[in-house]
Amino acid sequence: MKQLTSKELRDFYLKFFESHNHAIIPSSSIVPENDPTVLFTTAGMHPLVPYLLGESHPAGNRLCDVQKCIRTSDIDEVGDNSHLTFFEMLGNWSLGDYFKKEAISMSYEFLTSPDYLNIPADKLYFTCFAGDETAPKDEESYNIWRSLGVPEDHLFYLPKENNFWILGSGIGPCGPDTEMFYDTGKPACGADCSPACDCGKYLEIWNDVFMEYYRAEDGTLTKLKQQNVDTGMGLERTITVLNSYESVYDSDVFQNLKEKIEELSGKNYEENKESFRIIMDHVRTSTFILGDDHGITPSNIGAGYVLRRLIRRAIRHLRKLGLMEDALVKLSQVVIDDYQSVYHELSKNKEFIFAELEKEGIKFGKTIKDGEKLFYKVIKHLDGDTISGEDAFKLFDTFGFPLEMTEELAKENGLKVDTLGFEEKFKEHQEKSRTIDAGSFKGGLADSSYESTKYHTLAHLMLAALQHMYGPDIIQKGCNITSERIRFDFNLNHKMSDEEKAELTKIVNEKIKEGIPVTMEEMPYEEAKKQGAHGTFEDRYGSIVKVYSIGDFSKEICGGPHVSNTSELGTFKITKEESSSAGVRRIKGVLENIQND
Ligand code: SER
């Protein structure tokens, strides 16, 4: 089989499903708006949860896309052959349209057709759900594979842990799946060798989930009002498997980065695989997080904390190769060049990406200095030859000094580190940050309570008012809503003066007082742009979009929901105006429930 590139796979996939009447929708944000339990979008279906639950999607009920995903649970494994923190997931969906028969037939056609992946049928193996007390055995899928000519010895029934898919939170739309495996040709590891074992003979390339249940927090399954299909094919992984590469890092998506690191460091990949891989993965993921329009910046909590870890670990490994922090921007440029034709937001946010990488690089340089000082202070008073987990965590938590660095310094000084103690402290911290993060999402976009809805409409008024004040180049850089307040980020290069704040408040409150109806119209994206509608997530809309108008004052592409008249909002008050990041201001505001007369 000829070598398959990532571009070919993306293009083939979308073309195939388009030819089967699927609307191609753009990738959604890397930050999920419907799931408060995680920091990042972990699967292609994540942004589609409301539609899998029955809401109508403006682009129709047959969709396909390539979704940016981040999974960080195995962040420490990056450096081996297979782990990545960022990946692209190809997916096709039926939202209450076709079900098992069509989904499986299309999957099989895409995999085996000479016009598409052209995989020899005898290299393919399939698994189906074996059934349990909560959901029946999926004989239907099994029989569909059989009807397509798949022999019995290429089909396996596997239990829930293998063939039932649900988001990591364990709550939401879910169902049995059927998975597709590629036989690498390695000998079977034993008589029981099957796609369930991880000996490396069978490698998964695609997953068709038949989402017909909803799993509640207590574990009970209820039938959804519609039968959906959710499929997922990891782009990098599939390229690796089908080209028989040893590692995901051999795929073409890393080629330019690899060459750039070799050029800058004068070292070669083969002899420095671990550092190269960590740098390539972490720079790529950081570039995508920073380039995502959400304005996430390195911090000590939530998604910002993950970003900080990625950047700092990349720097550590750059240093191992003899490079300094300034290499980050050069490498990020390669990522942007490689991906900008697919993800336009990267080039749009380039300045922001570079500025944040640079800032974090400088901070970390200082951290390393301060951390080393504290390290020597700690060991001066050390009783015995082991640095406690608490001290190692303190170095990490207060200074962002990575454990590996403490370990390295310890080794140089003939000491050990209580890494288990560190892990315990680290887990405690992670749980705390997850809780805080979930809290900050609670009542956010996932919440369509009336109070939050008012704030959604307020966001539109604020953007229009800011554009009225500062001109049409003002764009929304982030927005976080709870039922009690709004946090709104936008681009502006100076601190707002008291007069400016008063003017914003005045314009917004005038528009509230005018009692303007909020109207919604669905239209093609091109038409919305022609009508001058603003869109915060320009690169993510499908071909049909919802446009919300507030009289002549505001017109935005938005998923909603909104109140029906601005008079419902009460009175707007700014509680704080501050800097969010370079060139981005953040306004915090509330709506007070004073009736306007
Ligand atoms: N949700 C499934 C997965 O992530 C299929 O898209 O594997």
Q: Which atom of ligand 1 is nearest to the CA of 209?
A: 5
The tokens describing 382, both together, are 């050390």
* CB neighbour list of residue 153: distance below 8 Å, 6 or more residues apart: none
Region 447-460 average pLDDT: 78
Record the pTM: 0.70
Please state, in angstroms and rounded to a whole number, the distance separating the CA atoms of residues 583 and 495: 10
230 C-beta closer than 6 A to ligand 1: yes
232 C-beta closer than 6 A to ligand 1: yes
Confidence of residue 442 (pLDDT cuts 50, 70, 90): very low
CB crowding 447-471: b at 16 or more within 10 Å, else e? beeeebbbbbbbbbbbbbbbbbebe
The pLDDT score that the predictor gives to residue 362 is 93
231 C-beta closer than 6 A to ligand 1: yes
CATH 3.30.980.10 residue spans of the chain = 450-592
Is residue 224 classed as helix, strand or coil in its secondary structure? strand
CATH 3.30.930.10 residue spans of the chain = 6-249
Region 46-74 average pLDDT: 94
Strand runs (DSSP E) across 314-367, as ranges? none
The pLDDT score that the predictor gives to residue 2 is 65
Q: Rounded to the nearest whole angstrom, what is the distance from the C-alpha of residue 170 to the centroid of ligand 1?
A: 14
Nearest Cα to 538, choosing from 312, 264, 349? 349
Residue 438 has pLDDT above 50, yes or no: no
Confidence of residue 81 (pLDDT cuts 50, 70, 90): very high
Mean pLDDT estimate for the chain? 90
* CB neighbour list of residue 323: distance below 8 Å, 6 or more residues apart: 261, 264, 265
Provide the CATH topology of domain 450-592.
Answer: Threonyl-tRNA Synthetase; Chain A, domain 2 (3.30.980)
Nearest Cα to 358, choosing from 319, 335, 325, 401? 325
The pLDDT score that the predictor gives to residue 449 is 61
**For the residues of 227-258, what is the DSSP string, one character each?**
EEEEEEEEHHHHHHHHTT-SSGGGSGGGHHHH
Which protein residue's CA is at the shortest distance from atom 2 of ligand 1?
A: 232
Q: How many CB atoms lie within 10 A of CB 138?
A: 23
Region 112-118 average pLDDT: 96
The pLDDT score that the predictor gives to residue 594 is 53
DSSP class of 185: -
Q: Rounded to the nearest whole angstrom, what is the distance from the C-alpha of residue 140 to the centroid of ligand 1?
A: 20
Residue 182 has pLDDT above 90, yes or no: yes
Counting residues of the chain whose pLDDT is more than 70, the rounded percentage is: 93
Confidence of residue 238 (pLDDT cuts 50, 70, 90): very high
Which protein residue's CA is at the shortest distance from atom 4 of ligand 1?
A: 43
Residue 597 has pLDDT above 80, yes or no: no
The pLDDT score that the predictor gives to residue 596 is 35
The pLDDT score that the predictor gives to residue 595 is 42
Q: Rounded to the nearest whole angstrom, what is the distance from the C-alpha of residue 174 to the centroid of ligand 1?
A: 10
Please state, in angstroms and rounded to a whole number, the distance separating the CA atoms of residues 330 and 287: 11
The pLDDT score that the predictor gives to residue 428 is 81
Tokens 């310890």 belong to: 410
172 C-beta closer than 6 A to ligand 1: no
Residue 437 has pLDDT above 50, yes or no: no
What pairs with residue 154 in β-bridges? Answer: none
**Ligand 1, from 51, 207, 208: best to mutate by most atoms within 8 Å of Cβ?**
207
The pLDDT score that the predictor gives to residue 290 is 97
The dihedrals phi and psi of 549, each to the nearest 5 degrees, come to: -120, 140
Q: Rounded to the nearest whole angstrom, what is the distance from the C-alpha of residue 538 to the centroid of ligand 1?
A: 25
Tokens 């000082």 belong to: 373
Residue 424 has pLDDT above 70, yes or no: yes
173 C-beta closer than 6 A to ligand 1: no
**Ligand 1, from 48, 209, 235: best to mutate by most atoms within 8 Å of Cβ?**
209
Q: Rounded to the nearest whole angstrom, what is the distance from the C-alpha of residue 289 to the centroid of ligand 1?
A: 21
Please state, in angstroms and rounded to a whole number, the distance separating the CA atoms of residues 228 and 96: 5
The tokens describing 251, both together, are 């795929």
Residue 582 has pLDDT above 60, yes or no: yes
Residue 39 has pLDDT above 50, yes or no: yes
Q: Rounded to the nearest whole angstrom, what is the distance from the C-alpha of residue 346 to the centroid of ligand 1?
A: 25
Q: Rounded to the nearest whole angstrom, what is the distance from the C-alpha of residue 44 to the centroid of ligand 1?
A: 6
Region 396-404 average pLDDT: 77
Instruction: Average the pLDDT over each of 386-390, 448-452, 525-529, 572-576 and give the range with the smallest value.
Output: 448-452
Region 185-204 average pLDDT: 93
Which protein residue's CA is at the shortest distance from atom 7 of ligand 1?
A: 232
Which protein residue's CA is at the shortest distance from atom 3 of ligand 1?
A: 232
CB crowding 38-74: b at 16 or more within 10 Å, else e? bbbbbbbbbbbbbbbbeeebbbbbbbbbbbbbbbbee
Q: Rounded to the nearest whole angstrom, what is the distance from the C-alpha of residue 231 to the centroid of ligand 1?
A: 6
pLDDT tens digits along 457-474: 999 999 999 999 999 889
Q: Which atom of ligand 1 is nearest to the CA of 42?
A: 4
Please state, in angstroms and rounded to a whole number, the distance separating the CA atoms of residues 497 and 499: 5
47 C-beta closer than 6 A to ligand 1: no
6-249 CATH choice from 3.30.930.10, 2.30.30.40, 3.40.630.30, 3.40.50.150 = 3.30.930.10
91 C-beta closer than 6 A to ligand 1: yes
Region 364-388 average pLDDT: 88
Region 545-556 average pLDDT: 90
165 C-beta closer than 6 A to ligand 1: yes
Which residue has better confidence, 74 or 137?
A: 137
Residue 108 has pLDDT above 90, yes or no: yes
Counting residues of the chain whose pLDDT is more than 90, the rounded percentage is: 68
Region 509-533 average pLDDT: 87
Q: Rounded to the nearest whole angstrom, what is the distance from the C-alpha of residue 230 to the centroid of ligand 1?
A: 7
Q: Identify whether 561 is preceded by a cis peptide bond (ω within 30 of 0).
A: yes
Residue 541 has pLDDT above 80, yes or no: no
Confidence of residue 540 (pLDDT cuts 50, 70, 90): low
Which protein residue's CA is at the shortest distance from atom 6 of ligand 1?
A: 232
The pLDDT score that the predictor gives to residue 36 is 65
pLDDT tens digits along 196-223: 998 999 999 999 999 999 999 888 999 9
CB crowding 554-588: b at 16 or more within 10 Å, else e? bbbbbbebbbeebbbbbbbebeebeebbeebbbbe
Q: Rounded to the nearest whole angstrom, what is the distance from the C-alpha of residue 334 to the centroid of ligand 1?
A: 29
207 C-beta closer than 6 A to ligand 1: yes
Region 262-268 average pLDDT: 98
Pairing of strands 584-592, 486-491: antiparallel
177 C-beta closer than 6 A to ligand 1: no
Confidence of residue 453 (pLDDT cuts 50, 70, 90): confident
Residue 538 has pLDDT above 60, yes or no: no
Nearest Cα to 216, choosing from 165, 173, 260? 173
**Ligand 1, from 208, 231, 238: best to mutate by most atoms within 8 Å of Cβ?**
231
Instruction: Average the pLDDT over each of 45-59, 82-96, 306-320, 536-550 and give the range with the smallest value.
Output: 536-550
**For the residues of 438-506, what is the DSSP string, one character each?**
HHHHTTSTT---HHHHHHHHHHHHHHHHHHHHH-TT--EEEEEE-SS-EEEEEE-SSPPPHHHHHHHHH
Q: Rounded to the nearest whole angstrom, what is the distance from the C-alpha of residue 235 to the centroid of ligand 1?
A: 12
Residue 439 has pLDDT above 50, yes or no: no
Q: Which atom of ligand 1 is nearest to the CA of 91?
A: 6
* CB neighbour list of residue 385: distance below 8 Å, 6 or more residues apart: 414, 415, 416
Q: How many CB atoms lie within 10 A of CB 2?
A: 7
